[in-house]
Structure 1
Amino acid sequence: MVDNINKKPYKAFIVPHTHWDREWYQTFQQFRIRLIDLMNNLIDILENDKKFSDFTLDGQTIVLEDYLEVHPERRELMKKYITEGRIHIGPWYILPDEFLVSAESIVRNLLLGHKIASEFGRVMKIGYIPDPFGHISQMPQILRGFGIDNIIFWRGIEYGQSQGNEFIWQGSDGTELFAVHLPKAGYCNAVSLPEDVGQAYKLINDAIEDLLSRETSKSLLLLNGVDHLEAQPCIPYLVKELNKRFTDIEIKQGNLKEYIDYAKETVKPNLSKVPGEFRSGKDTQILQSVYSSRMYIKQANERCETLLENWAEPTASMAWLLSNNYPQNLLWTSWKWLLKNHPHDSICGCSIDQVHREMMTRFDWSGQIAQEVTNKSLDYIAEKIKIDYLNKDELALVVFNPLPYSIDENVEIRVKFPQEINLNRVKVLTTQGEEIPYQLKGDGSDYKIIFSPFKSPQPLEVNYADISFTVKDIPACGYKTFTIKAINDLRMHKEYETDIRAGRDYIENKYYKVIAKTNGTVTVIDKINNKKFKNCNRFVDGGDAGDEYTYSPPLNDQIVISQLNNISIQDVGPSEATLKISGELMLPVGLKPDRKSREDKQIECSIESEIKLFSEVQRIEFKTKFNNKACDHRLQVEFLTAIKTDYVYAEGHFEVVKRPINLPDSEGWKEKAYKTAHNSGFIDINNGEYGLAILNKGLPEYEIIPDNNTIALTLLRCVGWLSRGDLKYKKGNAGPSFATPEAQCLGEHNFFYALIPHQDIWAKAHISQKTKQYKTKILTQQLKNQQGNLPGSFSFIQLEGKYLEISAIKKHEFEDKLVVRVYNPTDRETSGKIKLGFDIHKVYLGKLDESYKEELPYNDGVEIVLKPKEIKTIIFEVLFYDSNPKSNKIVR
């Protein structure tokens, strides 16, 4: 018995809670009906028993929205119990997977969770995130940015590392959290307590003995709940009776804050300090093959996040600085549809098929709103540009750049002229009249829809030309204007000088030469650095007998390596050239019934790669189309680097993560160490002098094959089960064994990735900035003559500093101020400056929650110094008026 173990008082907090997976093995609506029952019963308990003091709603606030949408009449009652501290909500909107969503998505999740919880009277300031599949190393800094100095979690760290129930987690920037490592039972070590006191005592005693075996404080956490379980009315009675039996331990129905406060008060000195990210499967399942489950979901998520973060919010902010209304509610509506897809069972792709079908609608709605906000913002800005020089056969083309640094980028656009303008060719001219090389990719007739708030939509027939050209020095967070002149006389066509070249089996620009080989791979020659990479873009397919959580190769696997022999050159011109390589992958149709090997029967799966080079752009782009007709397999694309190093660098959250290539011995682990890992946009192998970076759009899983340090990017992982218990690398199930045929991902897929060979390390080669540029498609507006005050070229916001990045440009949540979030992804202190194209009244250093820390000096910009991996939120009070940034200034 534990009664007489100690003479000092312990407190054991029984914390009634539920863990609410909003959708998983049932749909959201099915689970919501259970949520309504839970909430109604909880309210009955709280109404009828004043001694039932606490219930924790899983750290989320979305459950309130889901419940009150059905029972809006209970809003004030919920507010009463939350304000009184009997129901605990927040700090999150939803409990997210940390790796598969962007850094800004995590910040917005907390921002929205705090907003909603505050409206109900109280925010639970506990970093409660019990069940995600691992934890990012920037979580300490993110939580501290919201005034949260603690975290309670379960997975990803070895019990030998934490060395107790409580320890100190040190984030990648040095920020520390008081961390609680839940026991091996997880967030349910006091679940389903029997009403019989004797039986309850035995269960609680066992849980306490387990906690005392790792004692670091006199505070003991007993979590009374698990997935989707309701509050137990018997808890106050059991607490009273258990206190009669535990003479030296006070049993208390309580909440997570009480537990944390007492743990801090009684904690032992010199707690263990554990740095970095938590991805170990030694003691708990970590389930990191979810990075490649249902890859179409990851791609859709990346599109929405990129559209919101890189286009909708920055352009809405630019338009707001010109006196347009900031569409805050619309943007939050888009964010909410997106965030609803970020719980781990959703974004990880490990639920039933119906759940993931419904997710795609949410992605569509989020993206549609973000795109329309972007379009309207660009319209508003473009209407303010002075255009008074066009002839009848000319139009102005405004090229926008939402990134905080100037860029050189290829632009693809359909220019449209009225039907009366005959269009065989065009000229592209700068505002100074200099002609720019362009490439005609097609022409014809089309309809343009004219929208008006007072008339029905009107179709207007137009003649069009599809063109591409390279724009140099597009201003940071700004635009550049060009003139497009229609030409009917073919004799006026001009041959342009260009660095683009092509032959029967190669394409090249001034940076690279890409040569197709007879086996379908390509050799890449870096002309600047005189380096050669062979066997690039090789496709490798193996069997997968796993489930949505875990890759598990069959016992007798059969590996298929691509042999593609159809090679052609397309779209060669002054702006770009395309090398196309295609063929068939002959794949086994699936697994044999015993799941130990792949089927003998094979099926043709067509695969085609379009490889593009652009004039003046230092990047090789790949678009791969794959028609999947096979089941139970994994498709990867490989790039052999032959660069000797022990480490790989992967874009993470407000940082670039350095990981060892060689894995630890994981024999006997709960889940063996993964060869694959996560990236948010690029993977880089370098030896300090030279490197190779692979960029991608929504392909978060990579593997480094030690043989020649080959980078393998997962394109597709196809399985038919939500969970299985017979896997090679994992012990036991991670969920119910439901069939999920749509997780086989049959049908056509498009994958987008790019290659950048470079000198030096990734930071000095600006790979982080180049990745953001690659992900952010350039948008344009077409104009005729109009009145306006803005010049033909303008920069709203500019970031100076070699290695700094900006993750957010948005209006302040609560005030008429501009928020710019900047971070240092490197492991070295670096400095920079943020400059605005508007006069500044005051500048403040803020926190992630957009509260203020201190005022900053502003002199032709705000100087900033960031420690390694540090995040800073800068808040600007801007002087401006109407559409002229430098005159008639007022404080917004």
Structure 2
Amino acid sequence: FYFYLYRPVIHNEGFGDVEYKWSNGGVPFHFADQQQRDEDYFIIRPLDGYHPGRIEKQVKAIIQDQADDFTTPHVIWMEGHDSSGPNAKTPQLLRDIRAKFPDLNVVHSTLSDYAASLLADADRDALKLVTGERRSAQYDRRSGNLYGYTTSARMFLKQRNFEAERWVQWYAEPFCMFSGLAGRDINDRYLDMAWELLLQNSAHDSIGGCSLDEIHDDMMHRYKQSIEISKGVFDASVKHLVRNIDMSAFSSTPESANKELFLVAVNANNHTREEVVEAVIDIPKEFDAGGFEVVDKDGNVMPVQLRHHHPVQPVLEQMIDRPMYFDMHRYTAYVQLGTLRPFSLTAFKVHPIAPREERNASLISTKRGFTVMDNGILSVRVNHDGTLNISHEASGTEYLNLASFHSEGEAGHAWVHEAVKPFVSTAGTKPVITVTENGHLSATVRIDHRMTLPADLKERKTGKKQTGSVTISCFVTLRKDAERLDFSIRVHNAAESHRLRIHFPTGLEATHSCGEGQFDVVRRSLERPNTKQWIEQPMYDFPMHHFVDLSDGDKGAAVLVNGLKEYEVLPDRKRTLAVTLFRAFEYIIAPSSRQDYTFQKGAQCLGDQTFELSFYPHRHDWNKGNVYHEALNYNVPVRLVQTGRTNGTLPGTKSLLRIDPPQLVFSAFKKDEAGEEDCYILRLYNPTDETISGEVTTHAILRHVSLVTLEEKHLQDIPLQYKDSFEITV
């Protein structure tokens, strides 16, 4: 409607008319000084034009071109483009169309009314079933291109968005609700503020990373605010919960009560876990003995690997007294905790002890000139070019030459990727390889690469001497009993216009990739059909949220990502999984004329940045291989709190919320939107293809449970199984 009728009739303009002549009339406005000369022109007194003589021809044209688009009598005409406002002349245009075409029932309607009309009149049995994502959606010149490469534009935005979502979704909101159930007053707007700031960054050109630097600078500030608010909510919530923990299971005497130290582990997801965590424990100097041990309520001593220690004097804040300080000795160490139940606070006691001589076997050794990491589950050989050979004991599979880095030139823009030479790889090079940590609980190898690249797109196109560089420090960490290998990748990027990816050649006979998305794990074919006749060529770089997985059914490999959003399975025999770290490009747009913003460098992702991901080999497919479980444990780390003895009523190990089986994924635990007292909303979903019957158990006593829509409209009551649980089928 906008281009067929609105522009021709209101403005006497066609689709391709983008130049405005000063002689056309109207009153233009533009700042003519150095401060604002680069701002757009505006028409402050528009022309009062109307050209009804064009109505008949344009209506016939739109009817003819849309003849095969609809399967019901209801045809939709859309007004406007992505930054346009309403025009008071539109109702007059509709009246004139009805007068000239009395057989057409043209209604000024809404999308919801149109959808209701389709639902009422569509012959569902006759409709063609379309499956898949349709990521190449443009089928003619009237339809739109998807422009899907915004998934990798300004990756730092996606990483920060992921961090903000984690803070509010997994830490702040659910534990705020748990503290409310435990008696804390949670009637404030802090969570609303955190969510609102996050949502303000979700406009398509904002989170897409395809706007001016000023817009994205504002976004980063909003993310910072959202995260800070979420931290405050989580802090207040956990303080309330911790002081209500029952620690009577730990023996004590009246004399020792004020000398006791406790560590509380907070598991903020719906999966039971036993893992090595990094703890920062402060021992008061008044009873520091040079070391410590951690024990559970049954007296079991947790394995500890001390990293370093030093004296500290942290500030003590008290609202009823002036700030003071503790005189402490701070120990940073790895601790292998026992079983942590879903959504639980688990207490451990910390005993200051004299240092012990550790005789545990370390995880790194040297074999035949190669650095080898081995925890009995994974064996990792560091090759001389910095790639890794990973052997997975459970599946009997060896993955070869993993984790090389690849750069390709980028001549595209925010919406489109266009690869240009030269292509540079770290495979076959000679990086610096260093063991930075080697203990019985955790070990890390550092691999330092340096790439020499063209400094910018001009150097790439002219073939001049390459004056740019990228330095990569890849920290590879293996922990005791871990089933995954963790990567922390620090990059200093001093080259423009290139895409940097990390490659994992899987060697799997997979036919599909499985990428986690919105309430789903999307199965995508690895076939690449002949698409020469397609208007919009297909994208083979796909989006993901927590993970992407490849499997041949018997064994598989997943890459778990912390905020990275784009992957591709290369069309090679090795089924190489390529994960994008960043895609740097020149920012040039053409809303009408070409606007060159290459002087803005935000889209070039220059400077220091850090990327985190993990390689997780497994048996079977993503579902049977517990990929979701491992991804959420990776991306929602255990939180640790140091405290004194508390004498509350909350058990020190029980789940505050548990959803069984773990194939049902937690999404949210929040107050209901109506604000009803003691009314909470639990959201969960089933990402598998099978119907799952499960059970929800809470620490609270339940009075009533009902099934509601996402709009929180009642569907049906759910009977209680016990006073604290109910069954659900999804």
**TM-score category (smaller protein):** 0.7 to 0.9
Which residue of 2 is the match for residue 853 of structure 1?
715
* Residues 229 and 204 (structure 1), Cα distance of their counterparts in 2 relative to 1, 3 Å cut: farther
Letter in 2 for 1:308: V
Q: Supply the distance in 1 between the matched residues of 2:393 and 2:430 (Cα, whole angstroms).
A: 26
Which residue of 1 is the match for residue 83 of structure 2?
228
Q: How far has the Cα of 1:693 moved from its partner?
A: 0.7
Deviations along 1:455-485, one digit per CA (max 9) or x if unpaired, are: 4443434221111112131011112111112
Q: How far has the Cα of 1:195 moved from its partner?
A: 1.2
CA contact (8 A) 2:410 2:498 kept: yes
CA contact (8 A) 1:544 1:718 kept: yes
Letter in 1 for 2:168: L
CA contact (8 A) 1:400 1:780 kept: yes
* Residues 560 and 571 (structure 1), Cα distance of their counterparts in 2 relative to 1, 3 Å cut: closer
Alignment partner of 1:521 is 2:387: yes
CA contact (8 A) 1:506 1:579 kept: no
* 2:196 corresponds to which of 328, 336, 347: 336
Q: How far has the Cα of 1:650 moved from its partner?
A: 0.9
Q: How far has the Cα of 1:240 moved from its partner?
A: 3.1
Alignment partner of 1:383 is 2:243: yes
Alignment partner of 1:541 is 2:407: yes
Counterparts of 1:134-213 in structure 2, within 5 Å, are 195-213=50-68
CA contact (8 A) 1:543 1:559 kept: no
Letter in 1 for 2:58: L
* 1:809 corresponds to which of 669, 680, 699: 669
Alignment partner of 1:584 is 2:456: no
* Residues 312 and 737 (structure 1), Cα distance of their counterparts in 2 relative to 1, 3 Å cut: same
Letter in 1 for 2:164: C
* 1:620 corresponds to which of 485, 490, 494: 485
CA contact (8 A) 2:475 2:489 kept: yes
Q: How far has the Cα of 1:290 moved from its partner?
A: 0.9
Letter in 2 for 1:633: H
Which residue of 1 is the match for residue 206 of structure 2?
346
SS of alignment partner, residue 337 of structure 2: strand
Counterparts of 1:188-337 in structure 2, within 5 Å, are 195-263=50-118, 270-283=126-139, 284-326=144-186, 329-337=189-197
Q: How far has the Cα of 1:753 moved from its partner?
A: 0.4
* 2:693 corresponds to which of 828, 831, 836: 831
* Residues 683 and 327 (structure 1), Cα distance of their counterparts in 2 relative to 1, 3 Å cut: farther
CA contact (8 A) 1:423 1:463 kept: no
CA contact (8 A) 1:675 1:703 kept: yes
Which residue of 2 is the match for residue 485 of structure 1?
351
CA contact (8 A) 1:207 1:222 kept: no
Which residue of 1 is the match for residue 439 of structure 2?
573
CA contact (8 A) 1:557 1:597 kept: no
Alignment partner of 1:657 is 2:522: yes
Which residue of 2 is the match for residue 76 of structure 1?
none
* Residues 208 and 453 (structure 1), Cα distance of their counterparts in 2 relative to 1, 3 Å cut: farther
CA contact (8 A) 1:499 1:615 kept: no
CA contact (8 A) 2:394 2:619 kept: no
Counterparts of 1:438-477 in structure 2, within 5 Å, are 438-477=304-343
Q: How far has the Cα of 1:778 moved from its partner?
A: 1.4
SS of alignment partner, residue 864 of structure 1: strand
Aligned length: 673
SS of alignment partner, residue 290 of structure 1: helix
Gaps of 5+ in 1: 1-13, 16-29, 42-191, 725-731, 867-892
TM norm structure 2: 0.86
CA contact (8 A) 1:437 1:496 kept: no
CA contact (8 A) 1:326 1:811 kept: no
Q: How far has the Cα of 1:818 moved from its partner?
A: 2.7
TM norm structure 1: 0.71
Which residue of 1 is the match for residue 22 of structure 2?
none
Deviations along 1:688-724, one digit per CA (max 9) or x if unpaired, are: 1011111010111001013111100001111112447
Q: How far has the Cα of 1:597 moved from its partner?
A: 6.3
Q: Supply the distance in 2 between the matched residues of 1:768 and 1:820 (Cα, whole angstroms).
A: 19
CA contact (8 A) 2:209 2:216 kept: yes
* Residues 453 and 201 (structure 1), Cα distance of their counterparts in 2 relative to 1, 3 Å cut: farther
CA contact (8 A) 1:619 1:754 kept: yes
Q: How far has the Cα of 1:254 moved from its partner?
A: 3.6
Q: How far has the Cα of 1:421 moved from its partner?
A: 3.4
Q: Supply the distance in 2 between the matched residues of 1:549 and 1:470 (Cα, whole angstroms).
A: 45
SS of alignment partner, residue 275 of structure 1: coil
CA contact (8 A) 1:500 1:510 kept: no
Alignment partner of 1:434 is 2:296: no
Q: Supply the distance in 1 between the matched residues of 2:417 and 2:631 (Cα, whole angstroms).
A: 28
Q: How far has the Cα of 1:414 moved from its partner?
A: 1.1
Alignment partner of 1:782 is 2:637: no
Q: Supply the distance in 2 between the matched residues of 1:256 and 1:605 (Cα, whole angstroms).
A: 49
* Residues 268 and 195 (structure 1), Cα distance of their counterparts in 2 relative to 1, 3 Å cut: farther
CA contact (8 A) 1:515 1:523 kept: yes
Alignment partner of 1:683 is 2:683: no
Q: How far has the Cα of 1:572 moved from its partner?
A: 1.8
Alignment partner of 1:558 is 2:413: no
Letter in 1 for 2:681: V
Letter in 2 for 1:256: L
Alignment partner of 1:863 is 2:723: no
Q: Supply the distance in 2 between the matched residues of 1:263 and 1:851 (Cα, whole angstroms).
A: 23
Q: How far has the Cα of 1:434 moved from its partner?
A: 2.0
* Residues 823 and 240 (structure 1), Cα distance of their counterparts in 2 relative to 1, 3 Å cut: closer
Which residue of 2 is the match for residue 115 of structure 1?
none
Q: Supply the distance in 1 between the matched residues of 2:82 and 2:662 (Cα, whole angstroms).
A: 47
Which residue of 1 is the match for residue 500 of structure 2?
635
Q: How far has the Cα of 1:501 moved from its partner?
A: 4.4
Letter in 2 for 1:322: A
Which residue of 2 is the match for residue 611 of structure 1?
476
Q: Supply the distance in 1 between the matched residues of 2:669 and 2:115 (Cα, whole angstroms).
A: 35
Q: Supply the distance in 2 between the matched residues of 1:220 and 1:478 (Cα, whole angstroms).
A: 53
SS of alignment partner, residue 793 of structure 1: coil
Deviations along 1:779-802, one digit per CA (max 9) or x if unpaired, are: 111111333222332211112215
Alignment partner of 1:768 is 2:633: no
RMSD over aligned CA atoms reads 2.9
Q: Supply the distance in 2 between the matched residues of 1:654 and 1:734 (Cα, whole angstroms).
A: 40
Q: Supply the distance in 2 between the matched residues of 1:372 and 1:795 (Cα, whole angstroms).
A: 23
Which residue of 1 is the match for residue 27 of structure 2?
none
Q: What percent of counterpart residues are identical?
A: 25
Q: How far has the Cα of 1:268 moved from its partner?
A: 6.4
